[in-house]
Amino acid sequence: MPYLSGVLTGIVLTIVVVFLIDHVGDEPGSQDIVNWNYVGGELGQSAGKVADEVREEVHKATAPEPTEAPAAAPEAAPAPAIEAMPEPETTTPPATTGTPTDTP
């Protein structure tokens, strides 16, 4: 991770230094190191293309799935009637034996 951070920091610093060299102390007739108009145009077009592609992919991913018409199921024989379960007999709970309690 520190290696990646160092590489990215180096790239950003290089771009910033070149930009500053090209724009600070511009003398008439001096040639820039980088054609910033071209870079800005290309980055703008690339960003627009990426945004369009991402928008299309998100649209495809979030679109509802097409539903197929359900095939006509063959008619099955009617289900047999469900018989009612007999009610359980009510029983009284067993008698509890009382234990003598000590009352103070």
The predicted structure's pLDDT at residue 75:
66
The predicted structure's pLDDT at residue 95:
65
pLDDT means per 10 residues, the chain with 104 residues, are: 93 91 76 80 82 86 74 64 69 66 58
Which residues 6+ apart lie within 8 Å of 36 measured at CB? Answer: 19, 22
Query: Could you give the count of Cα atoms lying within 13 Å of 84 in the half-sphere of its Cβ?
Result: 3
Instruction: Please check whether residue 22 is in contact with residue 36, taking contact to mean a CB–CB distance below 8 angstroms.
Output: yes
Instruction: Please check whether residue 36 is in contact with residue 46, taking contact to mean a CB–CB distance below 8 angstroms.
Output: no
